[in-house]
Amino acid sequence: ELELQPEDNRQSAETVFKDSESYKQFLAKLYAGLAISGQEGPAGDPDLEGLDEGFSQYMRLYFMMQELTTDEAVIGWNDGTIKDLHSQNWTSGNEFIRTMYSRLLYQVALTNEFLRQTTPELLDSRGVDDETRANIQDYRAEARFLRALSYYHTLDLFGNPPFVTEEDPIGAFLPEQIERPALFDYIESELLDIEDDLIAAGQNEYARADQGAAWMLLSKLYLNAPVYIGEDRNSDVITYTEKVINASYQLSDSYQKLFLADNNSNGAQNEIIFPVAFDGQKTQSYGGMTFIIHASIGGDMDPESFGVNSGWAGLRTTSALVNKFLDNNDNPIEEVADQRALFFSEGQSKEINDISSFTDGYAVTKYKNVDVDGNQGSDATGEFPDTDFPLFRLGDAYLMYAEAVVRGGGGSQSTAVGYINDLRERVGAETISGSDLTLDFILSERARELYWEAHRRTDLIRFNQFSENGIWPYKGGVPQGATTQSFRNLMPIPAADLGVNTNLTQNPGY
């Protein structure tokens, strides 16, 4: 007998989809692809094998790409080429950049496979009942949203990646490379195409994507269109941020609540448009929130007050972010009224002498695994947090609207100022007037409002402050900071993939 099939809980496609529940479980994998790294939380049976499982998790890598490369974060560890991210001298051999790229395209491949397995023809042949079929239509729209999201991240980070859809097979073939403008068009057309198929904003189950998520993604795509396609699409930003703002989302009454263990139920969920959901017992990973919270605790910080059992003593921020909260640089950070200034300074120096030393640079206390009453999350060991990552939230929509107004996309300046002041009033910061609403202000305000939410690199590039302009400590590998070359606005196509896929051309400069 040489025709052997799996006998344990693995199944072939043929048998697994006899159970109509399988479609929702497959959909759960597409979402879980953002939160966990394999089939045995927190580790075991990983999706990707090229790097340690904890490190290969989607949000951990995305956080590293978007934050460590900027003024908002440094990390003190010796893992591989991790320090090259902050000093902006990474090469195409950087394993974290490589794994981000692999993870993004893995996510695309997963969604493609979902779409291949749910075609009307296949559902017909499997005799799927009507109710399931109706649900699968929703799932397919969400799968396409998730693919658009990962392609958006790929567009933003790598520009010109290999391009695969459900029309391609699975194997060892060489995907074609797509140019950045063409990928932009594809993402746009996909999002517009599924807009009406997605469940109405705020109406889907928690943590599943709805129309609001698609509008947010469209807004981000259009806001950055000058970078991606060299075209101004600010009026489209106005259109889609307005759709978000006019939907049922509401600002949380407290800024800190957005980043707590119960941010799926303490009211913050009304502001969060699309979360990456974690759970201390059921959705465990060494990446994601586990990484962000543990790695930002060290020195004299008490892990218990963050609802976790230990600090990994890695992540801190530079004085460039801290100074954005200070009127003049001599004020101690503790005296700042703005409640968004969530830093730990006791025993920490504001300036960094040695990136490896945790006490160099203020620690960031934004994310915690405790609820509004200070109780630790559901994992009794304090290892894995419940805190969800707010990938899209209403506050960002306000700031994008305001930016599009300033950039001439239409809308109303007074509305924009109102939105900004809504955010500032919430945290006890002084309100602004129309004359304060400049691009410089918006870039700084985005840092104050959205730091460590994985926006910074994209923002800096859009404002042309990431590489050839803009200075912050240890940029370019020197303590005082130095500019770098503009080709670093795009990450390199990893050498590993260039060596395999002869259809690919490296991004300029690498």
Partner 1 sequence: TSNGTTTDFDGNYTIENVATDDILQFSFLGFASQEIPYEGQATLDVQLDEDQATLDEVVLIGYGSTSEQDATGAVEKISPEEFNQGAVVSPEQLISGKSAGVRITSSGGAPGSGSEIRIRGGSSLSGDNSPLIVVDGIPLDQRGVQGVRNQLNSINPSEIEDFVILKDAAATSIYGSRASNGVILITTKSGKKNTDLSVEVDVKASVGSITDKVDVLDAAQFRELIENQPGTDPSLLGDDNTNWQDRIYQTSVGTISNFTISKGFENFAFRVNYNNTVQTGVLRTDLYKRNAVNISLNQDLFDNSLKLSLTSKGIIDENEFADDGAIGAAVGFDPTQSVNDSSLPFGGYFEFNRTNDNGDIVPLNQATRNPLALLYLRDSQGETRRNITNLNVEYRFPFLRELKFNANAGFDYAENDGYNRRPFTSAAVTNVESPYNEDYSGINRNTLFDFYLNFKDEVNFLNTEVDLTAGHSYQEFYIQSQTRENPNDIITETFDINRNSLESYFARASFDIANKYLISASYRRDGSSRFSPDNRWSSFPSASIGWKLHEENFLKDSETLNQLKLRAGYGITGNQEIGPNYGYFGVYTPSISGAQYQFGNQFFNTLRPEDFDEDLKWEELETYNAGIDFGFFDNRLSGSVDAYYRETNDLLATVPVPAGANLSDLLVTNVGETVSRGVEVGINGDLVRSQDFNWSVNYNISFQDLEITKLSLGDDPDYFIPQGGIGGGVGNNIQLWKAGYDPSTFFVFRQVYNDQGQPIEGAYVDVNGDNEITEADRQPYKKATPDYFMGLTNTLNYKNFDLSFTFRGSFGNYVYNNAQSSNGFITAGTVTPQDYYSNLNSNVLETNFQNSQFFSDYYVQSADFVKLDNLSLGYFIPGEKIDIRPSVTVSNILTITDYEGLDPEISNGIDNNFYPRSRTFVLGVNFQFK
The only residue of 64, 68, 110, 399 in contact with partner 1, by rule CB under 8 A = 110
217/211 Cα distance (integer angstroms): 10
* Interface with partner 1, residue 96, by CB under 8 A: yes
CB 399 within 8 A of CB 446: yes
331/115 Cα distance (integer angstroms): 55
β-pair partners for 162: 177
* Interface with partner 1, residue 129, by CB under 8 A: no
CB 315 within 8 A of CB 292: yes
Size of the chain in residues? 510
CA distances (Å), origin 226, targets 63, 148, 243, 253, 404: 23, 19, 22, 34, 12
DSSP 8-class letter at 55: G
Q: Pick the closer one to partner 1 by CB: 51 or 251.
A: 51
442/436 Cα distance (integer angstroms): 9
* Interface with partner 1, residue 95, by CB under 8 A: yes
Q: Cβ 114 to partner 1, closest distance in Å?
A: 8
* Interface with partner 1, residue 298, by CB under 8 A: yes
Q: Which 257-296 positions form the footprint of partner 1 (CB under 8 A)? A: 264, 277, 279, 281-284
Size of site (CB under 8 A) for partner 1: 114
Q: φ, ψ for residue 259 (rounded to 5)?
A: -125, 25
273/394 Cα distance (integer angstroms): 7
* Interface with partner 1, residue 241, by CB under 8 A: no
Stretch that binds partner 1, among 24-32, 227-235, 442-450, 464-472 (CB under 8 A): 24-32
* Interface with partner 1, residue 373, by CB under 8 A: no
Helix axes 211-223, 130-157, angle to 10 degrees: 20
Q: Cβ 110 to partner 1, closest distance in Å?
A: 7
* Interface with partner 1, residue 207, by CB under 8 A: yes
* Interface with partner 1, residue 135, by CB under 8 A: no
The only residue of 235, 270, 309, 323 in contact with partner 1, by rule CB under 8 A = 309
Binding mask 42-61 for partner 1 (x = CB under 8 A): x-xx-xxxxxx-xx------
Q: Pick the closer one to partner 1 by CB: 5 or 433.
A: 5
* Interface with partner 1, residue 24, by CB under 8 A: yes
Q: Which 338-357 positions form the footprint of partner 1 (CB under 8 A)? A: 356-357
Tokens of 120: 């009307």
Tokens of 403: 């930016």
Q: Pick the closer one to partner 1 by CB: 208 or 424.
A: 208
* Interface with partner 1, residue 206, by CB under 8 A: yes
Residue 412's contacts (CB-CB under 8 Å, 6 or more residues apart) are 405
CB 198 within 8 A of CB 145: yes
* Interface with partner 1, residue 68, by CB under 8 A: no
Q: Cβ 294 to partner 1, closest distance in Å?
A: 9
